Amino acid sequence: MPERILVTGITGFVGSHLADYVLARGASCELYGTRRWHLSRMDNVAHIVDRIRWRDCNLLDPSAVRDLVADVRPDRVFHCAAESFVSPSWGHPSLYMDVNYKATLHLLEALRSCSSQATLHIPGSGEEYGELLPEELPIREETILRPVNPYAVSKIAQDLIGYVYFKSYGMRVIRTRTFNHEGPRRERVFGIPWYAYQIARVEQGKQEPRLEVGHLDDRRNFTHVRDIVEAYWIATEKCEPGELYLIGSDQGGHVHTFREALERLIEMSTVEGITYETVPKYVRPTQVPNLVADITKFRTRTGWRSKLSFGEILADTLAFWRARVASEQI
Q: For the segment 246-264, what is each residue's pLDDT rounded down to a tens digit?
A: 999 988 789 999 999 999 9
Which residues have C-beta within 8 Å of that of residue 272, sequence separation ≥ 6? Answer: none
Q: Please state, rounded to an integer, the average pLDDT across all residues of the chain.
A: 97
Q: Provide the residue type at 200 as one letter.
A: A
pTM: 0.97
Which pLDDT value is given to residue 89? 98
The amino acid occupying position 1 is M
Q: What is the dihedral of CA 330, 35, 117, 160, to 10 degrees?
A: 60
The listed CATH number (3.90.25.10, 3.30.70.1230, 1.20.1560.10, 3.20.20.70) that belongs to domain 187-220+252-292+307-326: 3.90.25.10
CA-based R_g, the chain, Å: 19
Q: Are 74 and 41 in contact (CB under 8 A)?
A: no
Crossing angle for the helix pair 310-326 and 191-203, nearest 10 degrees?
50
Q: What angle do CA 60, 64, 69 make, to 5 degrees?
A: 110
Who's near 25: CB < 8 A, 6+ residues apart? none
Q: Where are the beta strands (DSSP E) in 164-271?
A: 172-178, 181-182, 210-213, 219-221, 223-224, 244-247, 255-257
Q: Determine contact, residues 285/90, Cβ cutoff 8 Å.
A: yes
Q: How far apart are CA 167 and CA 59, in angstroms?
A: 23
Q: Is 273 left (phi over 0), alpha (psi -120 to 50) or beta?
A: left
Q: How far is CA 324 from the centre of its chain?
A: 21
Q: Taking the domains of the chain in order of start, what are their residue ranges? A: 3-181+224-247, 187-220+252-292+307-326
Give the pLDDT of residue 250.
83
CA-to-CA separations, 168 to 30, 126, 162, 164, 236, in angstroms, rounded: 30, 26, 10, 6, 20
pLDDT at 329 over 70: no
Q: How confident is the model at residue 330, as a pLDDT? A: 60
Neighbours of 53 (CB within 10 A): 12
What single-letter amino acid sits at 196? A
The whole-number average pLDDT for the span 211-220 is 96
Whether a cis peptide bond, with omega within 30° of 0, leads into 193 is no
Q: Fold for domain 3-181+224-247?
A: Rossmann fold (3.40.50)
25 DSSP 8-state letter? T
Collapse the DSSP code of 149 into the 3-class scheme (helix H, G, I; strand E, B; otherwise coil) and give the result: coil
| Greatest distance between any 2 Cα atoms in the chain | 61
Q: Mean pLDDT over residues 191-199, rounded? A: 98
Evaluated on CA atoms 70, 14, 176, 124, the torsion sign reads negative
223, 293 Cβ separation under 8 angstroms: no
Query: DSSP string covering 302-324, please?
Result: H-----S-HHHHHHHHHHHHHHH
Residue pLDDT, tens place only, 105-157: 999 999 999 999 999 999 999 999 999 998 999 999 999 999 999 999 999 99
